[in-house]
A and B are shown apart, each in its own frame.
Chain A
């Protein structure tokens, strides 16, 4: 079934009885050409692009829980490509272009909203660094505008412009950035992959990797052994645990990142705004809730729950930037496990095990990367070579001294 105006009207008139489940509840077959471990946005996108771009349709996505139950459902749904370093910009801009064509491509409403991403600056030095970032983006064909204080005030007049400690001097705006509906991205890719023959196997945990003579043969799961010609790992948050099954250590620490949702308000914030004097980012969902977050919890954790200290820190940032938030009630907060890599940039690469491919280390940036990560991992799995846009995201960059350290924080994962 394809979504169209005709289908919507027809179902509206027939009691919405004509809709079908969007993907089959597949049982694992004995073997596949490619098995993707992890049914989040990245894994499902990988399966979709394997089928669409490379006609590899004998593919299974194996997910421990239900699809989208990990980080795909635990983020702040921001999409952007405002990066500065050469290894990053082409990749995230490829992603931005995929976001822009996603709804037509998937025939699914993923609610991509290019409402603009505004990064505030608070000092002359920060203005210089944002000008540099904006210039780097424009050289690569990405849109960026450096706004002065009055232009920011016209956009978002309710910020604390005259904060005594961190007055707002202006901002760097990417108008093509914005938000998307995170669950719809998962469902859209799942449905589109399923329609091309991909098996989506939920509630099936991978318990081991079968490797012989340095080659991957398949995966051991709670539903039995599943053979595979090639295997892709797309399990950010648990990357080290799954990679350990192949005897690998990774340049990654697991951390908890908290996000927060307020009670619903009438429309008040119509773009994404980030605070430059601390670490804070906020947008408003279409339901009216303010969705925001800040720094991660500083210590390595697999707990999927955050500490009160970080909670307080985020709220202090919130009120410093938007004093009106002090009277807002927080409805809920949650913690997601993220792969913090040693240089703050991701890894899409083959592994020392023949036929085993890795995608992870996404730090704060996994959601926005969903389409491009799937696109590039599919390219790597199908062709055996990295996609040009992700050619810098290799595992050996740490040994070669070619780290991509956007923040300049060095090998301290909790600082990226």
Chain B
């Protein structure tokens, strides 16, 4: 498998490590006894859609530019349809919220 890193170009799987489904991080606030907040963290840390099909997941270019990447990949065929910087996603989210 090859992953097209935005900085480094096409690189072999061996340079990357995978960090699983791209889960939206819940927004924390001070009241940690809040049941909804706790449930949302349990959900984000432990529960996954785990689809057979298109999967958005984080990869780390460990033996390359050390960027975190957001990869869209089909879990049935391993075809990668999109690679972008995870950082730009976080940034976009902050700008729009």
Contacts and interface: CB of A to CB of B under 8 A. Distances in A.
Interface stretch (A24-32, A147-155, A250-258, A273-281): A250-258
A299 B57 contact: yes
B73 A299 contact: yes
Contact of A307 (B1, B38, B52, B57): B1
A309 interface: yes
A303 B76 contact: yes
Interface residues of A, number: 24
B17 A298 contact: yes
A399 B42 contact: yes
A411 interface: yes
A301 B76 CA distance: 6
Given A309-B13, A398-B42, A399-B42, A249 B75 contact: no
B46 interface: yes
B87 interface: no
A302 B75 contact: yes
Contacts of A254: 50, 52, 75
Interface in A210-249: 238, 240-241, 249
In this complex, the member of A298, A299, A302, A399 whose beta carbon has the largest number of chain B beta carbons within 10 angstroms is A299
Contact of B52 (A299, A302, A413): A302
A398 B21 CA distance: 18
Interface string A46-84: 000000000000000000000000000000000000000
Given A300-B57, A307-B13, A250 B48 contact: yes
Contacts of A251: 46-48
A283 interface: no
A399 B39 contact: yes
A174 interface: no
B50 A301 contact: no
Given A250-B50, A253-B50, A299-B57, A414 B18 contact: yes
Interface of B: 1, 12-14, 17-21, 38-39, 42-43, 45-52, 55, 57, 73, 75-78
